[in-house]
């Protein structure tokens, strides 16, 4: 009983700490910002508009309801991209807190990823409104499909962010490298185009890109109201591997964080 009570107290402590740090990240993000949350919606919508003009009007890509198709991929991508790109500086930004306070430093990264997830969740009504405009209606699959994909993407993004945040303390060029790689991965992930448009001889690339099956499932749930079981399983496996790798790297280097900050 004492062990159980101790474990519950630790979990409660971690939860309270995560909530406090998440609120802190949200306040920092919108400090001196006039539009606040709207920036999280305006950014992917404006990019979707540019892509629509380029690919639908100019190149006439043959995808029905293309604006809706775009935002179903761009909104979850923005969550991943924002968290990963910001993670490289997150420990440096909180150096005074890390040096002066004893607590699990990984919670700082978790708070960062959670606040980006919250913004994505708050953008789902925007997707629903656009879907209604194209007469695409929510289905019962949304009730379990969206939470399931949120959990998978949370694990994947947190693992990648924890890995990058830890490595960047020792290799300060990581931020520039991640920015470049993020752009490369974006164009290699079926967001602007559908996975069916990839030539058969290159379909295998969908299975080596951890984000490809995840983004395909987001679009499938939001547009078609169904989960893709094979992609779902693959995404879950990737998420666990990335989470495990990120945690192992963090555990190996965390004792040196204070000395390199």
| Count of structural domains, the chain | 1
Whole-number pLDDT of residue 233:
96
Q: What does the pLDDT read at residue 39?
A: 63
Structure pTM?
0.87
* Long-range residue pairs from 141-148, CB within 8 A, at least 24 positions apart, any chain: 141/221, 141/225, 141/226, 141/227, 142/221, 142/222, 142/225, 145/217, 145/221, 145/226, 145/227, 146/221, 148/227, 148/232
Task: Return the structure tokens found at 173.
Answer: 């060029």
* Domain, as residue range, for 193: 2-260
Q: What is the pLDDT along the chain (261 residues), one digit of tens a residue?
A: 555 566 566 667 667 777 777 777 767 666 655 455 666 677 777 777 777 777 677 667 778 888 889 899 999 999 999 999 999 888 888 777 777 777 788 888 999 999 899 989 988 988 898 899 889 888 999 999 999 999 999 999 999 999 999 998 888 778 888 988 999 999 999 998 888 888 888 888 889 999 999 999 999 999 999 999 999 999 999 999 999 999 999 999 888 777 666
Q: What pLDDT, on the 0 to 100 scale, is given for residue 98?
A: 75
Instruction: With CA atoms as reference, report the closest residue to 190 among 112, 103, 74, 79.
Output: 74
């Amino acid at each position: 009983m004492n062990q159980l009570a101790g474990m519950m107290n630790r979990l409660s402590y971690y939860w309270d700490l995560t909530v406090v740090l998440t609120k802190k990240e949200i306040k920092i993000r919108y400090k001196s910002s006039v539009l606040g949350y709207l920036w999280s919606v305006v950014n992917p919508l404006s990019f979707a508009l540019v892509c629509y003009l380029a690919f639908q009007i100019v190149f006439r890509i043959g995808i029905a309801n293309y604006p809706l198709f775009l935002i179903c991929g761009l909104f979850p991508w923005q969550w991943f991209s924002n968290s990963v790109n910001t993670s490289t500086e997150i420990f440096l930004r909180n150096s005074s807190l890390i040096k002066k306070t004893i607590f699990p430093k990984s919670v700082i990264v978790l708070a960062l990823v959670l606040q980006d997830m919250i913004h994505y969740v708050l953008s789902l009504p925007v997707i629903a409104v656009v879907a209604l405009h194209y007469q695409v209606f929510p289905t019962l699959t949304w009730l379990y499909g969206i939470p399931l994909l949120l959990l998978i993407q949370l694990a994947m993004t947190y693992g990648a962010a924890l890995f990058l945040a830890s490595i960047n303390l020792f290799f300060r060029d990581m931020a520039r490298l991640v920015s470049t790689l993020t752009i490369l991965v974006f164009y290699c992930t079926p967001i602007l185009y559908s996975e069916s448009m990839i030539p058969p001889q290159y379909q295998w690339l969908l299975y080596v890109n951890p984000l490809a099956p995840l983004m395909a499932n987001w679009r499938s749930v939001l547009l078609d109201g169904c989960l893709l079981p094979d992609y779902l399983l693959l995404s879950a496996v990737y998420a666990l591997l990335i989470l495990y790798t990120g945690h192992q790297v963090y555990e190996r280097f965390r004792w040196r964080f204070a000395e390199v900050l």
